[in-house]
Structure 1
Amino acid sequence: MEKLSLEEDGVAIELVASDAELRQAVQQLEQCDELAVDLEFDQNRYTYGFNLCLIQVADGKGKCFIIDPFYINNLDSFFQLMGNPAVTKIIHHSNNDILLLDKMGCSVKGIVDTDVAAKILNYERSSLATVLKEEFGKEIDKSQQSSNWNKRPLTEDQLRYAAIDVIYLHQIKAKLLQEIKQLGRMHWLEEENLLLEQLKYTESENPHLRLKHSYRLNYYQQYLLKSLYAFREDLAQQFNKPAHFVIPNEALVELANNPNTDLHEWLNHTRGIHGNLKKPKNERLLENALQGAKEAAKTNNISHDYPEHRFQRPLRTPETERRKELLTMVQKEIMARYGEYASKLIINQSLITDYSQSGKLRCTKKYATSIVMEVAKDLGIALHVSAAPQQLGE
């Protein structure tokens, strides 16, 4: 592959597209105390599944490595670097990056999330583009944001865009953390970062029941939907297309709701069905999957009764309304003291609803619990805490 020679705002961009180049890059990066990291991935947008497409790492010293995993057989050396807590990883809005790396067997340590830092500083919008404009007056081009990162070769515009996502993060971290320290909120950021490190990728136990209107189906129909969902996943993986490109979600639920429909007619008159599924071979596979699900449902005596509504409205009594009102008063005072957007890290509607129902404050963040209890005390409101938040790392 031809050696890349690009530069962006004084930072040299180096494409890493072989195992040998990755080893050399990691050797250089291991000498740094802080690295800025970002991933480009495809999550059922153009291809099947949640897949890594690109890794960007800036050393803060004038070099940015663009690591192309499509040409690399073994990312273990990079994963070990990401797992080294002695090297700080500056990531902007890290949740999905952490989850994808965890899915691939990499546990990231030493995280500083600049998106969280911006929220702590009460940013209404905390995107990288917004933070750069607010803090440095710099406008960045986001036209490549919706690029198909699966396609090769990557364009020069894509590579520059990918580099821009990391080359300013060292400056952003320094500026935001200075402001956070002045506000005395560093312990907020430290706890939030430790919570991010504990994120784990998990597959949903019953993903078919997350489809819109699936809760309206009876037990028998939901049983069929589970089999149809699994069939669609297998086919999507074969086609390497997002599952909803093979059969749209609402069409899948519709088929489970009307399982005795003429499949050939259904396939050819339903919008959004992938062309490959209409081939005789795949049509027969769908027919077999549906018939097999019907027979299994009969064998297992699956009921045609309807389940109780899974989304029960919270119980409303004078006591739950009183609790809700008290904690809402606390929320308003927190917003006044810390700012509307920073307050969302401390208290939200879900916490208020849970307290109104249970009568106990169940907050997983130590700093947030401390603030809520302190504000409540100042307002003369007695709150009950379920238990002291567990120490992070225990």
Structure 2
Amino acid sequence: MTVHFHEEDLPEGVLAPGPVAVDTETMGLQLGRDRLCVVQISDGRGDEHLVRFAVGSAYDAPNLKAVLADPERLKIYHFARFDIASIRAYLGIVAAPVYCTKIVSRLVRTYTDRHGLKDLVREVLGQEISKQQQQTDWGGPELSDAQKDYAAADVRYLHALREKLDERLAREGRVALAQACFDFLPARALLDLAGWGEQDIFAHI
């Protein structure tokens, strides 16, 4: 298991075909204010790739964009809504089709309100991940080894989570419902970017 660090783009040909796990690190959680700093990606075969963008980046990244925009590649996220919006805002692409482990967790783990990645990985996979680096400066000139390890862990378990969660979706008869949620996520991200982040446009009032 190796963490590979890249500046401004993903090297060509480093990922195997098939689904990829994706996550982002930003300067904060407010879209439009907090810039995209890192995109993490893994093909599920043991290595993780981190692509860091510097201050003033043009976010060209043709290799990374090609992978994320590939309609034949499933993108697995945890809280896809935010990552899709950040990628759309800075890379200018819609990183779909989508699978979101947080949405599936809410659909099948209705016995708990703990749907964060750390809790999900602990229960479903029996693994422990640290969140100590979550609220750190991702925009600095250098990333620490601890930050790199944290970022890599955010995509390391998503393939295995998807496999286990799919079993629960089938068991509870909610596969079609989950897919409908996934299909809507790119539109939900665009609504966030357009200013409807907190408003439920489906509400009666």
Q: TM-score range by the shorter chain?
A: 0.7 to 0.9
Partner of 2:23: 38
- TM-aligned CA deviation for residue 84 of structure 1: 1.3
Partner of 2:143: 154
Amino acid at match of 1:155: S
Q: How far apart, in 1, do the equivalents of 2:62 and 2:103 lie? A: 28
Q: How far apart, in 2, do the equivalents of 1:130 and 1:43 lie? A: 22
Q: How far apart, in 2, do the equivalents of 1:78 and 1:135 lie? A: 30
Partner of 2:77: 91
Structure 1 residues 203 and 189: CA distance shift in structure 2, 3 A: closer
Displacement over 4 Å in runs of 4+:
none
Percent identity for Structure 1 against Structure 2: 24
Q: What's the CA shift string for 1:312-368, capped at 9, x where partnerless?
A: xxxxxxxxxxxxxxxxxxxxxxxxxxxxxxxxxxxx9x85xx2xx7xxxxxxxxxxx
Amino acid at match of 1:70: A
- Tell me, yes or no, if structure 1 residue 28 matches structure 2 residue 14: yes
- TM-aligned CA deviation for residue 163 of structure 1: 0.5
Partner of 1:381: none
Amino acid at match of 1:23: P
Amino acid at match of 1:202: L
Amino acid at match of 2:107: I
Map residues 118-133 of structure 1 onto 2, 5 A cutoff: 118-121=105-108, 122=110, 123-133=112-122
Q: How far apart, in 1, do the equivalents of 2:86 and 2:51 lie? A: 16
Amino acid at match of 1:36: A
Q: How far apart, in 1, do the equivalents of 2:24 and 2:194 lie? A: 21
Partner of 1:194: 183
Partner of 1:292: none
Q: What's the CA shift string for 1:129-162, capped at 9, x where partnerless?
A: 0101111222221111101101121100000000
Structure 1 residues 144 and 84: CA distance shift in structure 2, 3 A: same
- TM-aligned CA deviation for residue 126 of structure 1: 0.8
Q: Which runs of 5+ in 2 are unaligned?
A: none
- TM-aligned CA deviation for residue 203 of structure 1: 4.5
- Tell me, yes or no, if structure 1 residue 14 matches structure 2 residue 28: no
Partner of 2:64: 78
Partner of 1:103: 89
Structure 1 residues 192 and 16: CA distance shift in structure 2, 3 A: same
Q: What count of residue pairs does the alignment treat as equivalent?
A: 194
- Residues 7, 51 of structure 2: 8 Å contact kept: yes
Amino acid at match of 1:57: I
Q: How far apart, in 2, do the equivalents of 1:154 and 1:195 lie? A: 34
Partner of 2:124: 135
Secondary structure at the residue paired with 2:94?
coil
* Structure whose alpha-carbon radius of gyration is higher: 1
Q: Which runs of 5+ in 1 are unaligned?
A: 1-10, 211-347, 358-394
Structure with the largest fraction of strand: 2
- TM-aligned CA deviation for residue 108 of structure 1: 1.4
Structure with the largest fraction of helix: 1
Structure 1 residues 145 and 13: CA distance shift in structure 2, 3 A: same
Amino acid at match of 1:128: L
Structure 1 residues 44 and 60: CA distance shift in structure 2, 3 A: closer
Amino acid at match of 1:109: A
- Residues 50, 100 of structure 1: 8 Å contact kept: no
Q: What's the CA shift string for 1:359-389, capped at 9, x where partnerless?
A: xxxxxxxxxxxxxxxxxxxxxxxxxxxxxxx
Structure 1 residues 171 and 44: CA distance shift in structure 2, 3 A: closer
Q: What's the CA shift string for 1:18-62, capped at 9, x where partnerless?
A: 55xx233xx222x321101000001378xx922011111111111
Q: How far apart, in 2, do the equivalents of 1:60 and 1:178 lie? A: 18
Secondary structure at the residue paired with 2:164?
helix
RMSD: 2.5
Amino acid at match of 1:15: F
Secondary structure at the residue paired with 2:96?
coil
- Give the TM-score normalised by structure 1: 0.46
Partner of 1:62: 46
Q: How far apart, in 2, do the equivalents of 1:53 and 1:82 lie? A: 16
- Residues 42, 50 of structure 1: 8 Å contact kept: yes
